Amino acid sequence: MNGHALVSDCKKLLREPLMLLFMAVPFLAIAAVKALAVFGFPLLLRCTGFDITPYLGYIEGFMVLLSPGMLGAVTAFMMIDERDDGIYTLMSVTPLGFRGYIANRLIMPFVLSMAYTLVSHLLLNLVTVHPLSLTVVLAVSGMQGISTALILFTIADDKVKGLTLAKLLDSLMITSAGDLLGIPWVSVVCGALPFYWTTKLMLAPPAAGVIIVSLGVNAIWVLIALVLAEKRR
């Protein structure tokens, strides 16, 4: 992504309050949860005796997942606008080509998802995450930003449908807490989706099996999204 394209994207974002809101949602959610962690959770413990500590990892995991979800949606909306304006078709017949256009567009959700995730963890700091596990979490967050952007762009015909689909994808983030039920088959089903592995990585000690499977599942979803985009072109 060159400087001219970056400036153009920034101008688009400034003209679209919805996109700006999506980019701000992760930090607004973090501020709310941080306030709860400082004031609300201790009050809950004193008043009810309920200790939320065992669930802090799941809470932070869900907060971290908001970043690739929101940033992927923003990227998809920008791509849908370009498709509606004919820019998408024009770029596809230039030397850059369809794949070059897609690769160029996916830089933003990949890089920003990783950056947002790191900042989210540092600000919340509800659980201690091993540096190796955190590194993998950043990688899968970047991949989730890519897959979210491509799936929304490919399936949604316009931004209204894209917004509806984005809400559906966000609702699937509940699978990140699949282990809470303590039912093996539920964990297996949830593990088929990329969201589950973000929380798994944050809560479990770094293990080769978990790292490989988490990267593998997220990579598979990126490939599925790329295949869908290729067929849609």
pTM: 0.90
What percent of the chain shows pLDDT beyond 90?
67
pLDDT score of 197 more than 90: yes
Q: Are 218 and 143 in contact (CB under 8 A)?
A: yes
| Angle at 186 (CA atoms; ends 183, 192), nearest 5 degrees | 145
What pLDDT, on the 0 to 100 scale, is given for residue 101?
81
More confident residue, 42 or 98: 42
What pLDDT, on the 0 to 100 scale, is given for residue 141?
97
**178: phi then psi, degrees, rounded to nearest 5:** -60, -30
- Segments making up each domain of the chain, as ranges: 3-232
Average pLDDT over residues 169-183: 93
What pLDDT, on the 0 to 100 scale, is given for residue 4?
57
Per residue in 24-53, pLDDT (tens digit) is: 999 999 999 999 999 999 999 999 989 999
Average pLDDT over residues 136-164: 93
What pLDDT, on the 0 to 100 scale, is given for residue 164?
92
Average pLDDT over residues 116-144: 95
Radius of gyration of the chain (CA): 18
What pLDDT, on the 0 to 100 scale, is given for residue 133?
95
Residue 110: which pLDDT band, with cuts at 50, 70 and 90? very high
pLDDT score of 117 more than 80: yes
Both tokens assigned to 44 = 């809950």
How far does Cα 31 stand from its chain's mean position? 18
What percent of the chain shows pLDDT beyond 70?
92
Average model confidence (pLDDT) for the chain? 89
How many angstroms separate the Cα of 13 from the Cα of each of 16, 19, 40, 204? 5, 6, 34, 37
pLDDT score of 3 more than 70: no
